[in-house]
Amino acid sequence: MNDNQALPWWQQSRVQYGAIAGLIALLVFVVFILPSLVEPVALDQTEIEAGMQAPTSAPQTPADSPFADAQLARERKQAQEILSKVIQLQDQLEGMRVRDWAGTAYQAALDTAVRADEFYRQREFAVAQENYRSALTQLEQLQQRSSNILTQQLSLGDAALQNKQTDEARTAFELALAIDPQNNDAQQGLASAEVQTELLALLRKGRQAEKTDHWDEALSHYKQAYALDPRSPLAQDAVTALTGKIQDRDFNQAMSEGFKALDGGNFETARKSFKRADNIRPGDDSVTLALQQVANQSTLASIQHRVQQAMKAEQEERWIDANTLYRGVLETDATVVEALVGKLRTDARADLEKRTLNLLAQPLQLNKPEKLNQAQAILQELTQLGDAGPKLIQQRQQVNTLLEQVTQPRQVVFRSDNLTQVTVYHVGKLGAFAEQTLALKPGNYVAVGSRQGFRDVREEFTVALDATQVIVDVRCKEKIALGG
């Protein structure tokens, strides 16, 4: 056997399986073929006698027994199969850098394999098989331990990152990746370790800016660090902590501005400030209370303002405006005493003012008897109030003047063609004529004309209060075509 065959399997430089196959072929040749080519050696008498005197506790199998050869071949094959598994597992563990996390146990497994090699070379294949199996078991146990080692290295790496020990973190994550190259945590951890130096520099800049109250600048550095490594607890904590401080600052500032505006009666400004605070810290009880306070004070101020406006309207004899304001206050808060009393006080006057203004706005309606009666009733109500104010006196005079005007007839001249039959609604039939004059009170009127064989005509006309004479022409001119 040459020098290479004397070395253990796992200490050879990745022996090729082709060499193993050649070795197996050589062993088969030595065991099965070579004995048949060599003549048996004759024993002398002394050797025979020595053999006869040896203990015969067990029957001896002849050296050239086919059965013994077959047993040895089977044991050798089994040992080789186990050895193949040992080598495969050894390669896998070497790739996982087993010497870095279980060097002693790994060496013990290799030592067991060395002993197996010795027995193998001595053709004690059964014993070699047992030792190979023991080595395989030891390696399998190391493989099972690898998951725990992986978890341990990940924890060590995370702790090192937290403690700003960049080199230690890199070492731990590299070992974790050797154990499990596809492990996502290990990949991300190593990536974090690669950028931690730059990340720590950004965090230092941020802390320096924060100490001088340049919080926005500090937050910018912290966010850059976070962008480098979103998994970094250091960057996360820095961003979270300073963001909280900035939010507290902005929140307190918004609340302060809100209360200042509230004290000054600037309710809209106060509401906007408190809303800004609510956006910064949604659902905060202090914001809810502040907004409620704005609503209450705003409502109270609005009530007081409208009551004052209503009272002023009363003084100015604007009864409709005053009554409307009191009613609006009561819609907001039905318990306001000033509004309750004010409404009762102004109801009648507001109604009278409304009827008076409608009368003055539509004077020509007074040519109708019912409208004229209403106007006379209004004048009587205004008169009964006495001289309660200049506006009342003015309205009473306006109504009185209006009644005088509408009761004075105006001259209306109707012209026609002596062929058209003329009728004035609510006045009477005038018949056919060339010209006819009537005395009509101011108002809106309608005159219609009809003539046999001609289309009827309709003329609307107004007798205004300031009119002295009104001319109305009524004649049928459009002939109706027969059979058309």
For 338, counting Cβ atoms within 10 Å of its Cβ (0-12 exposed, 13-18 middle, 19+ buried), the class is: middle
For the stretch 349-383, pLDDT in tens is 999 999 999 999 988 888 888 988 999 999 999 99
Angstrom distance (rounded) from CA 166 to CA 187: 15
Residue 9 clears pLDDT 50, i.e. is over it: no
Band (8; pLDDT cuts 50, 70, 90): low
Share of the chain above pLDDT 90, in %: 61
Q: Looking at domain 410-473, which of 3.10.580.10, 2.60.40.1120, 3.90.79.10, 2.60.120.10 is its CATH number?
A: 2.60.40.1120
The first and second tokens of residue 367, run together, are 């040519």
Long-range contacts of 107-113 (CB under 8 A, 24+ apart): 108/138, 109/135, 109/138, 109/139, 109/142, 110/8, 110/10, 110/11, 110/135, 112/138, 113/8, 113/9, 113/10, 113/83, 113/86
Of 370 and 66, the structure prediction assigns the larger pLDDT to 370
Give the count of alpha carbons within 13 A of 447, CB side only. Answer: 27
Provide the token pair at 42: 């004759």
Give the model's confidence band at 177: pLDDT under 50 very low, under 70 low, under 90 confident, else very high. confident
Question: Over the chain, what is the mean pLDDT?
Answer: 85
Strand 454-463 relative to strand 428-431, pairing: unpaired
For the chain, what are the domain ranges?
Answer: 3-50+64-160, 283-354, 362-406, 410-473
Q: What pLDDT does residue 292 have?
A: 95
pLDDT at 15 over 60: no
The mean per-residue pLDDT over the stretch 78-91 comes to 89
Could you tell me the pTM of the whole model? 0.52
